Amino acid sequence: MSLEKWIDKEDLEKLRALENPKVERVIEEYLTLCKPAKAKIIDDSPEDIAFVRQLAIDKKEEIVLGLEGQTVHFDGYYDQARDKKNTRLLAPAGEKEKYGKHINTVDRDEGLKEVLEIMDGAMEGKIAIIRFFSLGPTKSRFSLCALQITDSAYVAHSEDLLYRQGYEEFKRLEDSEDFFYFIHSAGELTDKYVTKNVDDRRIYIDLQENRVLSVNNQYAGNSLGLKKLALRLAINKAIHEDWLTEHMFISAIWPLDKSRKTYFLGAFPSACGKTSTAMVPGNTIIGDDIAYLRIYESGEVRAVNIERGIFGIIKDVSPKDDPVIYNSLMTPRETIFSNILVSEGKSYWLGMGKQVTIPESGMNWTSSKLGEWHEGFCCNEEGKEFKFSHPNARYTIRLEELENVDEALHDPNGVEVSAIIYGGRDSDTSVPVYESFSWEHGVYIGASVESETTAATLGKAGVRKHQPMANLDFIVVPLGEYLEAHLDFGRRIAQNKVPKIFSTNYFLKDKKGRYYDEILDKKIWLLWAEKRVHGECSAMETPIGYIPKYEDIKALFKDAFDFDYIKERYVAEFSIRIQKFLKKIERIDIIFKNEKDVPEEFFNELENQRQRLLEAKEKYGTEVLSPFLFQG
């Protein structure tokens, strides 16, 4: 069947200009399967980019708001988050066992048969939008080309804000078959323009073909192939090509006198402070979500943000806690909101601050099922009153729209990485910040990250979920293989260029259940880590790693916030809780002993940590060690 059936002459010329037979084969295969009314080739021109946004408005996938450039999109009532159950890795026959318990798999042949049957005719009557993107800066050794075919103009518009245009990058690819491709259909829509057949929602990942097939969904975490779906493909590719793909922010940490900047990466599970750490006032941001890491010929680690935008949770974005983002969202610029409350062309979300009066009625995420929301609207499945905005409501903007964007955002060589932070949520064990003894010890720390649940999220507080490198949901290789790749990566870094590795924990509580840290206190822990990178302050060796000295932290609080950080709080926050750490080691030990081919080095680090704690317990005769015991 000829592509002329769907694509007009002018667009066909754009496609043929790429001179890539595989691109044409993929497009013809999926247009034949999905049966759209027509297809549109989008290049990097402003006219084509504007066409996509306008199509989203014309097709009522987005609604224009009162501030210029802003639109809102509503996902369906049952399509508000990543669908973990139906996001599956297509595992070849006989290989399901090797992936471990953390990976949701389906037999490759069975899965392909199922999803292709669901996708048959899924685009009938619609326009298939064919996009070309670059994951990472263009003209860079980091760049990966990505082809997207979707029938959702909202998805295509979102990708324009989040990713770099890649039509010209595909030209440089010539006839190479080394690119990712993503096929997405929102499927049949209701009269509210949301996915109708959510029971047939599927997101299937095929590592053999470097592709993702996604159907019957609109929520961006399921439909935007280039985001968390591409992350999975890139993790697999990186591990087999001796580089790393990580779920990390990239930020430049500046000292108070602004005399230099030092690039940090950070991996934090959801609700553990990742975006707020990336956006700490006084620093500059390159990315808040995904990083590619490579070792350059000169021996240093360099990293890029694969994205150019933010698809961020909007809940609790307020002028007090997130002034940069809040100001960007409250001024005219191209922005896509999703699943918030809209009333008279204005946007409202949970936690936006006391300065805003929430309207008594409006359109929100429940409207596709229940009609217009109003105060006292009842009830959800748990019998609770509906919130006016969904807790997972989002905003999508380009990073260039933020006043704190770093100048190296699009640098094709990336930035040199001086430090990596692993953060978790822990109410009773770990100190606010400490430094690892080595790269290997840092890999152990990253692999041992845990996120403690709160009553607000799962209905039961204090349950610790293991989140190695804050990446568990996206690791599509066996955990042992993933850890070995990290250890091997460290071996290849020049000895004087190895990034320091830190652990942070903003959620330590006192006996009354109150947090010791205020929201912006994380700035102090970053300032201390930055000084450690440059050898400007000493630290105390403890069984868990190097911790700050009291006088250094006290001085930083005074200089940054004019705040007196008292000794009593320092002792409470930086005491080493031996028994708590030993229990964590037991949990981590059990998890990794149930995984295959975990590197011996990992277990060596675990045992060394255990022995240091036991020796300290015997030496001092107590289970909670004051930091002042380690002054030496």
Mean pLDDT of the chain: 94
CB 274 within 8 A of CB 266: yes
Tens digit of each residue's pLDDT (9 = 90 or more) over 100-134: 778 899 999 999 999 999 999 999 999 999 999 99
pLDDT at 252: 98
| pLDDT tier for residue 454 given thresholds of 50, 70 and 90 | low
pLDDT at 382: 65
DSSP state string for 491-532: HTS-GGGPPEEEEEES--B-TTS-BSS-GGGHHHHHHHHHHH
> What is d(CA 306, CA 144) in angstroms, rounded to the nearest whole number?
9
Domain boundaries along the sequence of the chain: 3-61+81-241, 270-284+426-436+448-630, 311-400
Compute the Cα dihedral for 459, 462, 464, 469 and give only its sign.
positive
DSSP E strands, 332-455: 335-338, 341-343, 346-348, 361-362, 373-374, 394-398, 415-416, 419-424, 433-435, 450-452
Q: Which two tokens stand for residue 453?
A: 């649940």
| pLDDT tier for residue 463 given thresholds of 50, 70 and 90 | confident
pLDDT at 459: 46
pLDDT at 32 over 80: yes
Tens digit of each residue's pLDDT (9 = 90 or more) over 413-453: 999 999 999 999 999 999 999 999 999 999 999 999 999 87
pLDDT at 457 over 80: no
Name the CATH architecture for the domain at 270-284+426-436+448-630: Alpha-Beta Complex (3.90)
Compute the Cα dihedral for 164, 250, 584, 590 and give only its sign.
positive
Tens digit of each residue's pLDDT (9 = 90 or more) over 573-617: 999 999 999 999 999 999 999 998 999 999 999 999 999 999 999
Give the residue-averaged pLDDT of 303-318.
94
Compute the Cα dihedral for 530, 533, 538, 543 and give only its sign.
positive
CB 146 within 8 A of CB 113: no
| pLDDT tier for residue 363 given thresholds of 50, 70 and 90 | very high
pLDDT at 380 over 70: no
pLDDT at 455: 44
> What is d(CA 458, CA 454) in angstroms, rounded to the nearest whole number?
7
pLDDT at 470 over 50: yes
Q: Which residues contact 18 (CB under 8 A, 6 or more apart)?
A: 132, 167, 170, 171, 173
CB 627 within 8 A of CB 547: yes
DSSP for residue 46: H
| pLDDT tier for residue 381 given thresholds of 50, 70 and 90 | low
Q: How would you classify residue 462: left for phi > 0, otherwise alpha for psi between -120 and 50, otherwise beta?
A: left
pLDDT at 71 over 80: yes
Tens digit of each residue's pLDDT (9 = 90 or more) over 218-231: 999 999 999 999 99
pLDDT at 158: 98
Question: Please, which residues bridge with residue 348 across strands?
Answer: 341
pLDDT at 1: 54
* Widest CA span in the chain: 82
- The active-site residue, picked from 272, 378, 379, 537, is 272
pLDDT at 519: 87
Q: How many CA atoms lie within 13 A of 372 on its CB side?
A: 9
> What is d(CA 432, CA 56) in angstroms, rounded to the nearest whole number?
45
For residue 571, which amino acid is it? V
3-61+81-241: CATH topology: Phosphoenolpyruvate Carboxykinase; domain 1 (3.40.449)
Give the residue-averaged pLDDT of 456-473.
76
> What is d(CA 286, CA 294) in angstroms, rounded to the nearest whole number?
16
Q: Which of 296-310, 324-338, 360-374, 565-579 has the lowest mean pLDDT?
A: 360-374
For residue 30, which amino acid is it? Y
Give the residue-averaged pLDDT of 314-338.
93
pLDDT at 368: 83
Give the residue among 242, 291, 244 at the shortest CA–CA distance from 266.
291
pLDDT at 456: 40
pLDDT at 485 over 70: yes
272 is catalytic: yes
pLDDT at 98: 82
Q: Which of 38-42, 207-211, 318-322, 472-476 has the lowest mean pLDDT?
A: 318-322
pLDDT at 458 over 50: no
